[in-house]
Structure 1
Amino acid sequence: MADQHTTLRARRRAQTQRMIQGHAVRLFAWRGYDATTVTDVAEAAGVSPMTVYRHFPTKEDLVLADEHGRLVGERIAASAPGQPLVRRIGGALIDSAAALTGDDAGREFLLTRLRLMISTPALRAKHLDNQYALQQAIIGALGDDAADPETAFHAQAAASACLAALHTALVRWAEEDGRADLPGLIAKALAAVFGESPLPREGD
């Protein structure tokens, strides 16, 4: 019974976070990030400013907070150990992008967030923290492939290169107003960096 209550609380918390963030991103895109206050977001969401801060400690988090690290980590952990690092990491980045853009609502939400991150100086600076957190999620999910200092160094280098390719693809996607296929753009960027597709070949 206790586990059920814990799960229910976590589900409600996630729903509240998504609702608040949805209102925040909509307002930021409409009024402008700097012109919109946390109080404005709270009023639109029908909650108190304290509730907003309980879920999003900073105003920047209202845009930057996402589940990308969890999605990527789950896909890396589910991939076969021993594969080339670029294939494990790149494949996870492509799969998670497909999940995030799998429906119109998800695609538009991600596109709006990216536009805000690109156009708002405060968000561009804070975005580096998100990249570091995503890199750490990748390293943690690799398990034995990053278990000692030497393999961790290789994993960090591979993750950094893959995330640079991801960033390039995301910027291109936003500049093209989301018309292109995001997973395909990520695969193309990774191939430009590493000289081959991160996706498994037939028979692998």
Structure 2
Amino acid sequence: MGNGLRERWRINAMRTIQERALDLFDARGFDAVTIEEIAAAAEVSPSSVYRYFGTKEGLLVADEFDSMSQETLEGILDVNDPVGSLLRAVVKYEATAEQTPQRRVRYFFKVPSVRMAACAALDRASQRIAPMLVTSGGMTTTQARVAANALVFGYFAALEQWYLDGGADPIAKYVDDGMQPLRGLWPTPDEA
């Protein structure tokens, strides 16, 4: 089995596990469901669930970004327009999402342990982005760390507002609006 096929199989398996987990969480509540029950519903072993997600909270916060190669990330993130890059990624995600993310996202803001796991994942994302901002030559290490955190946690704040407002409008609308204060850090290329 080639790497591309193996990777697609892994991603499909992860999505199936996440869907079965969401079915159980929606029916019985997050805290009432065990990894063993999720594994049984997804027809995989509990060790597979742990291998793919690490924790029950990881089932909800894991996405393609976590396993994205640095090369792919560098192709997505324009260091001269990180806000625009983020917005384009959100628009692309929303266009290809098989379902509304609200089903999964609501747990980010309703279950404290899931929120903590989401914040840890965002911190890891920030740690991957910051060196790219330094390498571009425009920021010191400290500036890049602050800017990367502003970007990823700003996204999370916009996502939370989207959720609190009922999730009817596109997430991208909230990201675009919420990121306006960061445009002072990174003017769009046509403003520069």
Q: Structure 1 pair 142/26, CA: closer, same or farther in 2 (3 Å)? A: farther
Question: In the alignment, is residue 100 of structure 1 matched against residue 122 of structure 2?
Answer: no
Q: Which residue does 2:63 correspond to in 1? A: 66
Q: What TM-score results when the alignment is normalised by the length of structure 1?
A: 0.79
Q: Which portions of structure 1, spanning 4 or more consecutive aligned residues, are displaced by more than 3 angstroms?
A: 68-81, 140-143, 192-202
**Residues 130, 147 of structure 2: 8 Å contact kept:** no
1:78 Cα offset (Å): 4.9
Structure 2: state its 5+ residue gaps: none
RMSD of equivalent CA atoms: 2.9
Are positions 1:15 and 2:12 aligned together? yes
Q: Which residue is equivalent to 1:180?
A: 169
Contact 2:57 2:117 in 1 (8 A): yes
What is the CA-CA distance between 1:191 and the residue it aligns to?
Answer: 0.8
CA displacement 1:13-32 (0-9 Å, x = unmatched): 22211211121123223321
1:152 aligned residue: 141
Identity %: 28
Q: Deviation per CA, 1:19-55, whole angstroms, max 9, x where unpaired? A: 1112112322332110111111112111121222222
CA distance in 2, matches of 1:120, 1:50: 24
Structure 1 unaligned regions, length at least 5:
none
Give secondary structure in 2 for the equivalent of 1:105: coil
Aligned to 1:132: 123
Question: In 2, are the aligned partners of 1:38 and 1:59 still within 8 Å (CA)?
Answer: yes
The 1-side partners of 2:12 and 2:22 are apart by 15
The one-letter amino acid of 1:23's match is R
Match of 1:37 in 2: 34
- How high is the TM-score relative to the length of structure 2? 0.83
Segment of structure 1 superposing worse, 156-165 or 181-190: 156-165
